[in-house]
Copies of this chain bind each other. A is one copy, B any other.
Amino acid sequence: MTVHKFASEFKAVAMPAGRRLGLSAATPVQQVTCLAAGEQIYGQGEQAKALYEVEYGAVRVYRLLADGRRQIAAFHMAGEVFGFEADGTHHFFAEAIGATGVRVMRLGASAEISHKLLPLALQSLVRTQEHLLVLGRQHAIERVAAFLLDMAERQGGLAEFELPMSRMDIADYLGLTIETVSRAFTRLKEKGIVKLPGLRSVHIIKYQSLDDMSA
């Protein structure tokens, strides 16, 4: 398996200094931060001090094995909340994929708002469990089909949309290589199930066929 190196320098999140205080207020402090492509939001081993809501753009959450293999556990799109951790420590890396805006929600007394967080955490859990099924029991083309359906749904349900991430991100999300992902795209195109007007743009032609493949 090819080993890649990823930008792992932690770039401190630019944030006006004067507004980072008052951390333990009953209402969590909310602070929007703008990130460039590849900028890290948090890293494995860091203390988890906040939750994050994507304002625009997209985020990848991943882990690395010692030899450089990478698994992206989740992509997060506009409106989604991520950064949940069980023991106060991040076990994953989170990075902006492209230019991305993130609302940082610092948690003071988290117990007070846990009834708001539980549904969000559960949604993450369900998504991750669905993803497990894909990684454990689906073939390459089925994984890509499921991925495209998921992306279409999370971008408003339109048949035509842009992928925010590269083929390598998709590969590391689906547990495949970029070559296999590329071949799956080509096969879906050849079958007339999708059109690929640009490298990152997808047009779903036969929604039903995609759905049949992924299930």
Partner of A126, one of B85, B114, B122, B126: B85
A75-98 vs B, CB cutoff 8 Å, 1 = contact: the mask equals: 000000000111100011000000
B128–A132 touching, CB < 8 Å: yes
Tell me whether A117 is interfacial, beta carbon within 8 Å: yes
A135–B215 touching, CB < 8 Å: no
B65–A126 touching, CB < 8 Å: no
Tell me whether A175 is interfacial, beta carbon within 8 Å: yes
Q: Which residue of B lies closest to A112 (CB)?
A: B115
> What number of copies of this chain does the assembly contain?
2
A103-142 vs B, CB cutoff 8 Å, 1 = contact: the mask equals: 0000000110011011101111110111111011110000
Partner of A128, one of B87, B128, B137, B175: B128
Report the minimum CB–CB distance from A143 to chain B (whole Å): 10
Tell me whether A66 is interfacial, beta carbon within 8 Å: yes
A118–B114 touching, CB < 8 Å: yes
Partner of A133, one of B65, B121, B174: B65
Tell me whether A144 is interfacial, beta carbon within 8 Å: no
Q: Which residue of B lies closest to A74 (CB)?
A: B129
B91–A175 touching, CB < 8 Å: no
A-B contact pairs, 17 of them (CB 8 A): A63-B129, A65-B138, A71-B136, A73-B133, A85-B126, A86-B119, A86-B122, A86-B123, A86-B126, A87-B126, A114-B114, A115-B115, A124-B125, A128-B129, A131-B132, A132-B132, A132-B135
Interface residues of A (CB under 8 A from B): 1, 63, 65-66, 69-71, 73, 84-87, 91-92, 110-111, 114-115, 117-119, 121-126, 128-133, 135-138, 172, 174-175, 215
